[in-house]
Chains A and B, each alone.
Chain A
Amino acid sequence: MAAYLIRRLWQMIPTLMGVVLLVFFLFKAFGGDPAEVLGGLNASKEQIDAIRQQLGLNEPVWYQLWLFVKQIVTFDWGKSWATNEAVSNLFATRLPATLTVMIPLLVLEVTLALPIAMWVAYRRGSLTDRALTVVTTVALSISFLVYVIVGQYVFGFQLGWFPVQGWSDSLWTNLTTYVPLPVFLALLVGLAPQTRLYRSFFLDELGQDYVRTARAKGMVEGVVLFRHVLRNALIPILTNIGLLLPGIFVGSFLIEVFFSIPGIGREVLLAVNRSDFPVIQAVTIYLAVLTMLINLVVDLAYKVVDPRVVLK
């Protein structure tokens, strides 16, 4: 096990280096002159030159790359170009808001999709299948934007059940007042495709030989589905959750923008609009690291779920 962990961590290094290189050169090659952005429209040439000096832009490329790497390792990104707020502070203050919305959403999505998908797989017949497919397809063809726009209008504006926007400092208030509407709308859109995916997992398992053996042993359909099939379907479901997990840290920037939730997604969007490069770079790199760590944890979790897995 230890050997496996070490090997995996060792293998992460080239990928991490690749991400750093990608971000660095992307912004270097296409990002325009940071000095001009910082200086603003009315800066004089001397001021811009001074900023360049400060940022180390006159140094050779490899030195700038070295500075970049140093920033990453020491978590010191300096200040945001737009708000002058320390970038590291950004994470600390914005992350909780994002997680307050995303964790309930992920939990609800998985725990609702699972039983619905099982029920649909249990009652499989061409009519339910076809109906589900058509409904899902139509529902998915409408952009999430529309759902949010209409949802906000109907539930917030017209009916007044939920506030249209807002956030507070108390976790409880957030969970009960400000989170329900966004989570509800996101669930509306995300549940159908998730159910379809899980249903396909269940159907795949139902076609396997061991299901025939279970039936031949005299097990009722319920046992076959809930014990034999579900246990095996957990393997692809775990994969799926593993893919969704990194996303909860970025959050749904759309939700955050619409509902004015001060989360990371919204910060990144603001940064993009303002060409606030340090923020974008920092978020990108740290989230890449987080994704790799999550993948490692998920791979370890496979060992629990699938006895055939051998971690070498």
Chain B
Amino acid sequence: MSAVLSADGAPEGAQQHSEGVWHAAWRRFKADRVGLLSLLVVLAFFLLVLLSGLNLVAQNWQREVGVPNAPPTLLGPAPPQASGVIETPSGPNVDLSAIDPLAPRYKEWDERAKKFQTLETVKSQTLPFGGDRLGRDVLQKAVKGTEISVFVGVAAATVATLIGVVLGAFSGFFGGKVGDLLEWVYNVFESIPNILLIFAFAAVVGRGVESVVIILALTGWTSMYRQVRAEFIKHASREYVRSAEAIGASTMSRMFKHILPNVSHVVLVRMSLLTVGFIKAEVILSYLGLGVRVDQVSWGTMLAEAQSELILGHWWQLAAATLFMAVFVTAFSLMADALRDALDPKLRGLE
């Protein structure tokens, strides 16, 4: 019995303990400083989203706590508007009690009024990131907007991924009539330019966060479908799947126990691309008034307001929305890049 193993020459640097694909990827990811930093930023944002969603922060974003267009704290309060001064009349008021029909009741109302206390909310002159035209705190709006925009992006990406993976798996694995039918569905959706499709859906579905998620997911699944289908076609003829068939594994088993884990890294990278795309799409939709409802805030609605404010010289809402969005999307994109490089070191240029 030939028992010698070492002659086969195990590859250099064989691990002492066994390392699956995800462990190896995590190890490589940790070594990438930029990727790690981006991951931390993204997690911080997710935490913010969670807190905002639980109404622990920014729940009072709709309250008008500042004077309209209050500047940021750093800049100091706006100079008082030199509005036309109306001369207050001198001299006592003219006595109209003879002709005034309400005159007998004034005394009664005065008595009643004394029982109530009016709280004069002092409107701040400045807010941390400034105020919008109604005096709402821009910082709180930005945080709430983060919650909405990020939630929409991630939720839509998840739904689109589910649709794309299931349809792509069946289409790529079976081919034939099933594949043809699914390709037909795909072609129908692909023939219509994306924006038009979104508009068509938006026209009928209406506004609101749920609507936006549905619209984006139903129009955005095609790229995931395409990629998953290509991967399944590639893997379905691979020998490890043939071997599984030879030992008697069922179709579902071959598709989802064998092939899917080998495709999951592709799916993950594509899903992160989808998330970024959907966030940007939601911003545009909300800007155009087709996205979130009037009583909700997103980065898009903030930008819509900012446009008219800019002409008046009030730039802080634009800056806040842009800042939050830029930081999150940049961090997410860099993290996705690092993830892709960690999962497939061949893609990374060798230093």
Interface residues, chain A, CB within 8 Å of chain B?
Answer: 14-16, 18-19, 22-23, 26-27, 29-32, 124, 126, 129, 133-134, 137-138, 140-146, 149-150, 153, 157, 246-247, 249-250, 253-254, 257, 265, 268-269, 271-273, 275, 277, 280-281, 283-284, 287-289, 291-292
Given A129-B349, A143-B283, A143-B299, A275:B203 Cβ within 8 A: yes
Point out the residues of chain A lying under 8 angstroms from B351, CB to CB.
126
Interface check B289, CB cutoff 8 A: yes
Q: Is the CB of B322 within 8 A of A146?
A: yes
Q: Lowest 4 A-B CB distances belong to which pairs?
A: A141-B329, A18-B188, A30-B204, A288-B191
Given A137-B333, A143-B283, A277:B203 Cβ within 8 A: yes
Partner of B193, one of A26, A29, A246: A246
Q: Is the CB of B200 within 8 A of A145?
A: no
* Least distance between B339 CB and chain A CB atoms (Å): 14
Interface check B265, CB cutoff 8 A: no
Point out the residues of chain A lying under 8 angstroms from B204, CB to CB.
26-27, 29-32
Point out the residues of chain B lying under 8 angstroms from A27, CB to CB.
200, 203-204
Q: How far is B327's CA from A141's CA once the two chains are assembled, in angstroms? A: 8
Q: Is the CB of B311 within 8 A of A291?
A: no
Partner of B303, one of A18, A137, A145, A283: A145
Which of B195, B203, B287, B326: most chain A CB closer than 10 A? B203
Question: B interface, how many residues as a size bin?
Answer: 35 or more
Point out the residues of chain B lying under 8 angstroms from A145, CB to CB.
283-284, 287, 300, 303
Q: Is the CB of B187 within 8 A of A18?
A: yes
Interface check B262, CB cutoff 8 A: no
**Interface CB pairs A-B, < 8 A, 9:** A18-B185, A27-B200, A31-B203, A32-B204, A143-B284, A144-B284, A150-B318, A280-B196, A288-B191
Chain A interface mostly: helix
Point out the residues of chain A lying under 8 angstroms from B188, CB to CB.
15, 18-19, 22
Point out the residues of chain A lying under 8 angstroms from B327, CB to CB.
141
Which of B195, B200, B201: most chain A CB closer than 10 A? B200
Q: How far is B114's CA from A256's CA once the two chains are assembled, in angstroms? A: 58
Q: How far is B193's CA from A208's CA once the two chains are assembled, in angstroms? A: 34
Point out the residues of chain A lying under 8 angstroms from B64, CB to CB.
none
Q: Is the CB of A137 within 8 A of B337?
A: yes
Q: Is the CB of B303 within 8 A of A149?
A: yes
Q: How far is B349's CA from A126's CA once the two chains are assembled, in angstroms? A: 7
Point out the residues of chain B lying under 8 angstroms from A157, CB to CB.
311
* Least distance between A132 CB and chain B CB atoms (Å): 12
Given A27-B204, A30-B204, A280-B199, A141:B284 Cβ within 8 A: no
Interface residues, chain B, CB within 8 Å of chain A?
Answer: 184-185, 187-193, 195-197, 199-205, 280, 283-284, 287-290, 299-300, 303, 306-307, 310-311, 318, 321-322, 325-330, 333-334, 337, 349, 351
Given A149-B306, A157-B311, A268-B196, A138:B326 Cβ within 8 A: yes
Residue on B nearest A250 in the bound complex, by CB: B193
* Least distance between B262 CB and chain A CB atoms (Å): 22
Q: Is the CB of A291 within 8 A of B199?
A: no
* Least distance between B327 CB and chain A CB atoms (Å): 8
6 new A-B contacts at CB < 8 Å, known A15-B184, A15-B187: A27-B204, A137-B333, A141-B333, A277-B203, A284-B200, A287-B193
Q: Is the CB of B325 within 8 A of A142?
A: yes
Point out the residues of chain A lying under 8 angstroms from B333, CB to CB.
137, 140-141
Given A141-B333, A143-B280, A149-B307, A26:B201 Cβ within 8 A: yes
Residue on B nearest A254 in the bound complex, by CB: B284
